[in-house]
Structures are given as C-alpha cells and as structure tokens.
Amino acid sequence: MTTSSETQKLVVVTGASTGMGASAARELARRGFHVLAGVRRDRDADAIRSTGIEPLILDITEPEHVEALAARVESDPRALHALVNNAGIQVNGPVEALPLAEWRRVFEVNLFGHIAVTQVLLPALLRAKGRVVNISSVGGKFAMATYGAYAGSKFALEAVSDSLRREVAPLGVRVVVVEPGGVRTEMAARGVETANRLSARMTPEQEERYGDMVRANNELMASGTASGLTADAAALVIAKAVTTPRPRTRYTAGRDAALIVRLGRILSDRTLDRVLAANLRRHQP
C-alpha cells in the first residue's frame, strides 16, 4: 500500500533490466517509491521507464557509472530509503576447468560491484537511516558441483552482509539478505549457455572427468528454473525486505530455497553430499 511518506523516498535497484530486478522496481514503484533502476542498455531503459521508475545506465563494475549514481542520489532532496543490490551473473564450471578470468568476472559483478555501490551510497543511507538489501541465493549457503565461482561469490556476499550489518546497525541502517532458489528469469538460461560455451573449451581429460556432470547440472538448472518462482513472486519478497519496519536479517524466496536451508541445518556435510549427488544422477544423460 502506498503511503504519503513513501512518495518522498528513493530506492535504488541495480540489475533492473529484466527478471527479479525489473519486477522489484515495478513493485516498489507501485508502492509509491521513486525507483532509480540500474540498467545496462538504452533499450532496457526504454522498456522499464514508467511512473515512479527512472532508469539509469549502470554497470556496477564501471567506476564512472557508480560515481554518476552517487551524484544523482546526492542531488535529490528525497531520502534514500533502500539500496537493492540485485545485479548478478551466473557462470558454472568445474573448479579445475573454469578459467581464472571467469572467476574474476563473477566476483567483479556479484561481489565487488555491490561493495562499490554500497560504499558510495552509504552516506545517504546513514542520513536517512535506510537499509541495504543484498540479493544473494540459496547458493550462498550451499555450493553444488560446478557452482564454485557463482556460489563462492554469493558466500562472500553473505559474509560481507553480516559484517556490514554489525557495523551499521548501531547507526540506524538495516542490512537484509534475500536468498532465492530457482526463479524463472533469463539469468539461468544465460548461465546454461555460458556453461556449455566454457565446457567446450575443456581438455579431453577434463571432458572425461566432468562432462557428464556439467550436462547434468545444466539439465538440473533448466528444470529448477522452469518450476521455480516467477520473477514477480520473488519481487514480493524483495519488497517485503525493503518495506517491513522490522525486517529479518534473511529471507528465503521459494519453497526449494527454504527446504535446502532447512536440510543444511540438520544434515551432515557427507549426508548432504549424498542427497545432492543422488539428485544430480537423475539428470545425467
């Protein structure tokens, strides 16, 4: 529900071109916030521009883009209520075979870019006693085979979120993590394409060791995405994290995420390994 106070507040959403980011931007605008929506291309800006949504060209790995965002926020008389760090990429591959350049690219987007945006917007958030909402993943708690880079970046984001929460809570800023499971977005499809491209570059020995595993994980990813939450449903969880007066430190999004988190609390590592391996075997060619 829109309130008069919300119409006077800003929310920044990164990665708002498609998927959860776009849906969250629309949901928050519907609730009366003025949303600064970070997108990568002009056509994405045209697609999302609407009442309450102001698109900005924003690549969070480009310092000049991040500085321009900070200047835009500083020039606005409205308080910055929340920063939603949503931008992300998914790159899967076995630890042995995934090139270091790909590891660095994943961490630049999924971790360092978020830190850069958070650093420049924290002064405004501190003034407004706002909040930071970091979009992690169930992969930020449990790393399946071939998910080392992606899950590693999300594990790191979870740790940074914990540290930041403990630093700024005494100053009135809340830090919330959202952990989605499978969501029907374009990111998973792009992740499968990237995994196939990278697996084609494996040596014959690596193909023999990991090829079936990579293909099974791609099938698992595709099926999990197809049966997952819609982006609009995930956006409702994000909106709750943004608007709830006393938010929890973490929210899962989707039944699969809630189930995996529960299993992780009660099962040993070895038992969980066997559960995940059995699930993966169902998808092997």
The pLDDT of residue 285 is: 66
> What are the residue ranges spanned by the domains of the chain?
6-281
Class of domain 6-281: alpha beta
pLDDT tens column, 172-203: 999 999 999 877 767 766 777 777 788 888 99
Lowest mean pLDDT among 98-107, 183-192, 225-234, 264-273: 183-192
Q: What is the pLDDT of residue 2?
A: 47
| pLDDT of the residue at 126 | 98
Please check the confidence at residue 221 and state whether its pLDDT lies above 90.
no
Q: What is the pLDDT of residue 201?
A: 87
Looking at residue 227, what is its pLDDT? Answer: 63
Task: Report the predicted TM-score, pTM, of the whole model to 2 decimal places.
Answer: 0.90
**Cα separation of 171 and 166, whole Å?**
10
Q: Which of 147, 150, 210, 251 is catalytic?
A: 150
> Of the given ranges (83-87, 122-126, 192-196, 225-229), which has the lowest mean pLDDT?
225-229
Q: How far is CA 20 from CA 92, 133, 158, 172, 252, in A?
A: 20, 13, 19, 27, 14
- pLDDT at 225 > cutoff 80: no
At residue 150, φ and ψ (nearest 5 deg) are -65, -50
Contact in structure between 110 and 154 (CB atoms under 8 Å): yes
* Known active-site residue 150: yes
17 phi and psi angles, rounded to 5 deg:
-65, -45
